[in-house]
Amino acid sequence: MLAWLQSVDGSIPPHALLVAEERLLATQNGVGLYDNGQKSPNHQQGTVHVTSHRLLYIDDARPELCSLALQLSTVAQSEYYNGFLTSSSKVELVLNSASTDDDDDDEGWTCAICAHENPRSLGQRRTHCALCGAVRPAKSTSAPAPANELQCTVCTFINVQGATSCEICGTPLPLPKPKSIPTQTNERQTMKISFRKGGDKAFYAVLKKALQAKAWKVTQTADLPRAEQGAGISGILNAVESNTSASTDSVASALKDLEALTAQAKSMVALASTLSAKLQQQSAQSSLSSSPSSRSSTPLSSSTPTPDATSFIQRSLYNMGLTLSEGPVVQSSDSNSSGDERRYLDELAAEVGGLLSDGLMGGRGMVGLDEIWCAWNRARGVALLAPETFIAALQKAITGRGLGLGMRTLKSGLIVLHEPRLSHASFCARLLSSTPPPFSGTVEDTQVWHTPLDVAAREDVAVALAAQLLQAAEDDGLLWRDVEPFGGVRWTRNVLKDWTWDGD
């Protein structure tokens, strides 16, 4: 095959054949190669890839043996030929003579100073290490054998020119080859790419751009003179200035994000207010139209949402905590008297009481105060409340508005809001009623075990809250626990609590 072509392993993906600065530009399948106008028998069905530095031919039948690579730097001229009748379109590449200069294909090398692996380069030869800047050692070349010496084919002894037999072993020496007279030829060395499945024009356009760009002549960044690194007082000052600038940019970006979040919160509160007003208007229209006197005179609009749609909107607002029909209650900046403070808490209590009455509990018997606080603050938008103010308003709403809810603190420190049936006394009484007392003197006959999962399903609470309720009953001596071998915990009635020890 042509002397300027290099063999490559085409069994690996084309992207793995590229070096660091090389880019894949175009791909075309169904091509064959011609060597100086003659078909190359081993390269008639394959795929050609053009990169910024090379032309890759990957053979379909034997990719690991018959795949080739051509440096674009060896292409002196390119021509395009249209297909005619049975002849396919072709691209002819006029090539320079095969070059022995290794600068066009710079192999990778290891720096002797820092042991950095400098990658292979297809452009100009890298003369400095990319990491430390050390000069690349020159290649060691062996001196050619003198032309006036002959080597014995048996003992490899070097004999002087003119000897007919070896001076050591006597073996006849081969006759020296006459010097060939260099001849000049005007025959062009060409390679053709035959496109048998089309795509020739688009591929040739990309190839021409790659030849004009001459990316292999671009000086590599690693070969440029390395900038002096900051050192001493000047380097320290530059580093401090750079860090300060980066911190300033980060703070400015964070403030922009906070402003965007505030604007979005305001729009969400406005949307919630609009939806709540529309729902109230729809409810009023429905009640008015349901009366016998106005049933015939006030027909419902065709755009009126259905009850299912209304229920869906309400559930969505409850889940997001955006259920305020009016603006959030805020404290005036000039209110300093105790009367204003009480009025402010009363308004907050009315607001949170309305949220709880509208279904913020979500049908659950017990909800953590952290969840209620987050939902309320989401509904208030940017008028956020401190936890102390929230707890004070919630306690005022529970005691003053008759919500039928209680508040208790679990052993873990979590404060929860619960229905009356989940108070400590009611829960323990209901739990003991499901566990009959001993009647035969043996514990096995009356043991009924309770797990957090069973209690959570029965009482409609979270599993973590059910475990804390069982632990509170255990702390009162009503239950005892059993730790299972695989880490589970279960509770049963303490049958020894009411027994009296008689000393026997």
pLDDT for 480 equals 83
Is it the case that residue 142 has pLDDT exceeding 50? no
pLDDT for 205 equals 92
Q: Which domains does the chain have, with CATH numbers?
A: 5-102+189-223 (2.30.29.30), 146-173 (no CATH), 315-408 (1.10.10), 423-493 (1.10.10)
Mean pLDDT of 332-337: 50
Mean pLDDT of 128-155: 69
Q: What's the pLDDT band for 223 if we cut at 50, 70, 90?
A: very low
pLDDT for 182 equals 47
Q: What is the pLDDT of the chain when averaged over all its residues?
A: 76
pLDDT for 503 equals 61
**Out of 87-101, 248-262, 345-359, 429-443, least confident range:** 429-443
Q: What's the pLDDT band for 229 if we cut at 50, 70, 90?
A: very low
H or E, element range at 49: strand 46-51
**Out of 44-53, 201-210, 313-322, least confident range:** 313-322
Q: What's the pLDDT band for 37 if we cut at 50, 70, 90?
A: confident
Reading the block at residue 460, the tokens are 């409609």
Concatenated DSSP letters of 259-327: HHHHHHHHHHHHHHHHHHHHHHHHHHHHHHHHSGGGTTTSPPPTTPPPHHHHHHHHHHHHHHT---SSP
| Cα pseudo-dihedral 471, 473, 478, 481, rounded to 10 | -20
pLDDT for 224 equals 44
Q: Please write the tens of the pLDDT for every residue from 452-498.
A: 899 888 888 888 888 999 989 888 888 888 888 777 888 888 877 76
Q: Please write the tens of the pLDDT for every residue from 173-188.
A: 876 655 554 444 556 7
Q: What's the pLDDT band for 375 if we cut at 50, 70, 90?
A: confident
Beta carbons of 59 and 1 less than 8 angstroms apart = no
Name the residue with higher pLDDT: 110 or 90: 90
pTM score, whole prediction: 0.37
Q: Please write the tens of the pLDDT for every residue from 280-319.
A: 677 666 666 655 554 444 444 445 556 666 666 666 665 5
* Angle separating helix axes 387-400 and 369-380, nearest 10 degrees: 100
Q: Please write the tens of the pLDDT for every residue from 392-415.
A: 888 888 887 777 788 888 888 888
Burial class (CB in 10 A: 0-12, 13-18, 19+), 207: buried
CA distances from 444 to 238, 492, 495 (A): 79, 11, 11
Beta carbons of 474 and 482 less than 8 angstroms apart = no
Concatenated DSSP letters of 137-155: PPPP-PPPPPTTEEE-TTT
Is it the case that residue 148 has pLDDT exceeding 90? no
Beta carbons of 134 and 111 less than 8 angstroms apart = yes
Beta carbons of 79 and 191 less than 8 angstroms apart = no
Is it the case that residue 58 has pLDDT exceeding 90? yes
Beta carbons of 47 and 101 less than 8 angstroms apart = no
CA distances from 170 to 151, 160, 226 (A): 12, 14, 61
Nearest Cα to 4, choosing from 40, 45, 54, 62?
54
